[in-house]
A = this chain, B = another copy of it.
Amino acid sequence: MIGHVVNRPEDVVREALEGLQILHPEMLSYHRDPLFVTRTVVARDKVVLVSGGGAGHEPLHAEFVGSGMLDAAVPGSVFASPTAFQIRAAVNAVETGRGALLIVKNYTGDKLNFSIAAELLGTERQVEIVMVDDDLATTTADEGGPGRRGTAAVIAVEKICGAAAERHWALSEIADLGRRVVAASATLGAAFRSCTAPGQDRPSFELAPGEMEFGIGIHGERGRETRPTVPAAELVAQLSEPILDAVGVERGDGVIAIVNGLGATHGLELSIATAELKSFLGDAGIGLDRVIAGSFVTALDMHGLSITLLRSTEEFLDLWDATVRTPALAW
Contact = CB atoms under 8 A, between A and B. Distances in A.
A264 B264 contact: yes
A18 B275 CA distance: 6
Contacts of A22: 274-275, 278, 288, 291
Contacts of A175: none
A170 interface: no
Given A17-B271, A267-B298, A300-B266, A6 B278 contact: no
Interface stretch (A41-49, A64-72, A225-233): A225-233
B3 A192 contact: yes
As for how many copies of this chain the complex holds, the number is: 2
A272 B6 contact: yes
Interface string A274-291: 111010000000001001
Given A3-B192, A16-B271, A263-B266, 13 more contacts: A1-B231, A2-B229, A5-B232, A5-B265, A15-B232, A15-B271, A15-B275, A20-B274, A23-B291, A201-B210, A202-B209, A267-B295, A268-B300
A273 interface: yes
Given A1-B231, A7-B232, A275-B16, A266 B298 contact: yes
28 contacts: A1-B210, A1-B231, A3-B193, A4-B269, A6-B269, A7-B272, A8-B231, A12-B272, A15-B272, A16-B267, A16-B271, A16-B272, A17-B271, A19-B270, A19-B273, A20-B271, A22-B275, A23-B271, A23-B291, A55-B268, A58-B266, A58-B268, A201-B210, A202-B209, A266-B300, A267-B295, A268-B300, A301-B303
Interface string A1-44: 11111111000110111111011000000000000000000000
B210 A268 contact: no
Contacts of A273: 5, 19
Nearest to A2: B229
A59 interface: yes
How many chain A residues sit at the interface, stated as a range, is: 35 or more
A273 to B, nearest CB: 5
Interface of A: 1-8, 12-13, 15-20, 22-23, 55-56, 58-59, 63, 192-193, 198, 201-202, 207, 209-210, 212, 228-233, 235, 263-276, 278, 288, 291-293, 295, 298, 300-301, 303, 305, 330
- Which 5 residue pairs across A and B have the least CB separation, nearest first? A19-B271, A264-B264, A201-B209, A5-B269, A3-B192
Interface of A is mostly: mixed
Contacts of A270: 5, 19
Contacts of A202: 209
Contacts of A19: 270-275, 278, 293
A275 B295 CA distance: 21
